[in-house]
Amino acid sequence: MIEFLDLKKVNNRFRKEMDEAVGRVLDSGWYLLGKESRAFEEEYKRFIGTNYCIGCANGLDALTLILRAWMEMGLLKVGDEVIVPANTYIASILAITENKLTPILVEPNPSTLQIDPDNIRRALTPSTKALMVVHLYGRCAWSEEIEEITNENRLLVIEDNAQAHGCKFGNRLTGSLGHAAAHSFYPGKNLGALGDGGAVTTNDPTLAETIRSLANYGSSQKYVFDYQGRNSRLDELQAAFLRIKLPHLVTDNERRKEIAKMYCDNIKHPDITFPSLHVNKDSHVWHLFPILSCRRDELQEYLATKGIKTLVHYPIPPHRQKCYKEWNDLSIPVTEMIHARELSLPISPVLSNEEATTVISAINSFPI
Ligand SMILES: *Cc1c(COP(=O)(O)O)cnc(C)c1O
């Protein structure tokens, strides 16, 4: 049996240090907003290359808090349009509608599956105030062209970096490219906790201060409330676990790249295509390894009979979900094509070459 992602194996590599971390937090008697979370924020902002990092409860909160802070700062108001890729995970869009902002769903480029600059231009209106860039699958979605569009139109740029910890654009990391970035430490992400966790990175001191307050009930001084805030904190245990895993992130990503290379070089089947790798190729950190097939469901079942677990990211596009009834009749064809054809193959730092080879042979033997 080849697991899609063997989290037990991923985390047991750090068993001894994690046991020690649990002891350290227990001994401290301090569970929230303490030494561990402060130290992680310092280490993570240094890694990403920004001046500020604010830990929070999860990736959705990180996205939501950034947009909310911009509203409190007067940079966004109810109804303003935020451009977002139509094929993203639902959380990107939930953060926008949660703040009563208007998501403008934009088609990705069918060969890279990343948001398409020409489609961004076409979607611009006088109400467009922000762009959410999603580094989907672990691949950088940013480009000089997108930077030009956002500068010309004075757009706020929020990066959804939930799937791309350690991904690069030139010599900068994703998460440091826009005005603010949201990170998720959900267990299955490239940098994953043993529970929920998230963070915001930014170079803007006012934004950082506003988010820190919003995430702590809207308070920067005990029992004094400046905003109608929420409770969204990264706890000490999760921060301690993340501090153990962060130094291994780059080598873990390198291992993902090796597996991705094996897949790219050796999977050969007339019914299967890969997203094009010409753009931002070396920086890709392969949170997922997506393939596209018109016979996706059949292929998934075939691989299951060979003991290989795969997942679909994602089976139903956001605009076809019940929670967004108002969009259900929209036709967004590239996005719909991706959701109909995408299949994610097993990839992780603990997948062995033998396992990868088994996956490759199984796919290549899928009857035509
Ligand atoms: C995982 C994910 C999120 C949400 O993160 P959580 O920590 O699960 O809330 C947001 N956006 C994308 C693209 C994700 O993959």
Nearest CA to ligand 1 atom 4: 59
From the list 222, 284, 207, the residue with the least C-alpha distance to 253 is 284
The alpha carbon of 133 and the centre of ligand 1 are apart by a number of angstroms equal to: 13
- Whether 103 contacts 245, CB under 8 Å: no
Nearest ligand 1 atom to alpha carbon 134: 13
Query: b/e string for 188-204 if b means 16 or more Cβ within 10 A?
Result: bbbbbbbebbbbbbbeb
Nearest ligand 1 atom to alpha carbon 185: 7
- Looking at residue 153, its pLDDT comes to 98
Amino acid at 331: S
| Local structure of residue 325 (DSSP, 8 states) | G
Nearest ligand 1 atom to alpha carbon 58: 7
End-to-end CA distance of the chain: 24
- Whether 349 contacts 258, CB under 8 Å: no
- Looking at residue 275, its pLDDT comes to 87
- Looking at residue 279, its pLDDT comes to 60
The alpha carbon of 306 and the centre of ligand 1 are apart by a number of angstroms equal to: 30
Name residues contacting ligand 1 (CB within 6 A): 58-60, 88-89, 91-92, 134, 160, 162-163, 184, 186, 196, 198
Torsion of CA 11, 17, 18, 19, to 10 degrees: 130
The alpha carbon of 91 and the centre of ligand 1 are apart by a number of angstroms equal to: 6
CA–centroid distance for 135 within its chain? 6
CA distances from 340 to 136, 264, 316, 320, 354 (A): 17, 21, 8, 12, 29
Q: Which of 58, 60, 98 to mutate to test the pocket of ligand 1 (most atoms within 8 A of CB)?
A: 60
The alpha carbon of 274 and the centre of ligand 1 are apart by a number of angstroms equal to: 23
Nearest ligand 1 atom to alpha carbon 88: 13
The alpha carbon of 181 and the centre of ligand 1 are apart by a number of angstroms equal to: 12
The alpha carbon of 144 and the centre of ligand 1 are apart by a number of angstroms equal to: 25
Supply 274's token pair: 């890969």
With vertex at residue 107, the alpha carbon angle to CA 274 and CA 336, rounded to the nearest 5 degrees, is 65
Torsion of CA 356, 280, 274, 87, to 10 degrees: 110
Kind and range of the H or E run holding 85:
strand 81-85
- Mean pLDDT, consecutive 10-residue stretches, the chain (368 aa), reads 97 98 97 97 98 98 98 98 98 98 97 96 98 97 97 98 97 97 98 98 98 96 95 98 98 96 96 80 90 98 98 97 98 98 98 98 97
The alpha carbon of 200 and the centre of ligand 1 are apart by a number of angstroms equal to: 13
Nearest ligand 1 atom to alpha carbon 63: 10
**Preceding peptide of 31 cis, ω within 30°:** no
CB-based contacts of 226-232 (< 8 A; 24+ apart in sequence): 227/72, 230/61, 230/65, 231/57, 232/56, 232/57, 232/58, 232/61, 232/65, 232/198
